[in-house]
Each structure stands twice: as C-alpha cells, then as structure tokens.
Amino acid sequence: QVQLVESGGGLVQAGGSLRLSCAASGRTLSSYSMGWFRQAPGKDRERVATIRWRDASTDYAAFVKGRFTISTDNAKNTVYLQMNSLKPDDTAVYYCAARADFSYDYAYWGQGTQVTVSS
C-alpha cells in the first residue's frame, strides 16, 4: 500500500505561483511513477505532469509546459508541483497519484488539494 497526502493548495491571483507537495509513505517508491492530476467542476480529470522516481524523467500536459515543474525529494519521499504564471483555468482540485512502473493504472491516490486562481 502507498499512502499519499497532498498539501499546498490555496487561493492565488492570476499570474501568481503555488507549490503543491505530495508526501508518500508505505513502501519503497523507486519502482513507481508519480503523477499530478486535476479536476475542475463539471470537467473530466486530466493529467498534469508525471515523473518516474528512479530516473526523474518527466512528462507534461501541453497546457502546463513552461509553467509547471514536477520534481521529487528522495530523502523526504515527496513529490512537488511548482506552478507559475497561474491562470483562472488552472482552478481545480489537484490530486497526487502513484503507479508501479510495470502498470498502466494509477492505483494510489491522495485526497486532493484545492487550487483557486482569481482573475
């Protein structure tokens, strides 16, 4: 089992920045990939960014490239999402998730953290 706890959400003005954190526990994560997803009211959940724990390779959705950065702190077992140049369209509940590298499915999810960007 993997437990994930997000933090760092809040209210920010357009153009501002936030950093989300996802603290992971429960097992060794070296063979896992981590992802940040978001879901806005009335919309489907969408992938924001992913990172593979063992080599820190990353991938981003087109709508956040150049604005968001995903990273890990191995000593703290924590994944971060640095969000810059925020837009009102970025308003959503942001979720952290984990999947084993051999799996296509994200089996573990955090409870989510609200990000609200005002115009």
* pLDDT for the residue 27: 78
* pLDDT for the residue 51: 96
Cα-trace Rg, the chain: 13
Residue-averaged pLDDT of the chain: 95
* pLDDT for the residue 1: 85
C-alpha span between 60 and 63 (Å, rounded)? 8
Residue 99: both structure tokens together: 């999947």
The answer to whether residue 10 scores a pLDDT higher than 90 is: yes
DSSP code at position 89 = G
* pLDDT for the residue 29: 83
Which residues lie closer than 8 Å to 86 by C-beta, 6 or more apart?
12, 14, 15, 16, 17, 18, 67, 115, 117
In the chain, the largest separation of any two C-alpha atoms, in whole Å, equals: 41
Tell me what the mean pLDDT of segment 75-100 comes to.
96
Q: Please work out, in degrees rounded to the nearest 5, the angle formed at the alpha carbon of residue 69 by the alpha carbons of 64 and 73.
A: 150
The answer to whether residue 30 scores a pLDDT higher than 90 is: no
* pLDDT for the residue 3: 95
Could you tell me the pLDDT band of residue 26, with boundaries at 50, 70 and 90? confident
Cα dihedral sign, 109-111-56-14: positive
- For 43-74, how does the pLDDT look when each residue is reduced to its tens digit (9 = 90+)? 999 999 999 989 999 999 999 989 999 999 98
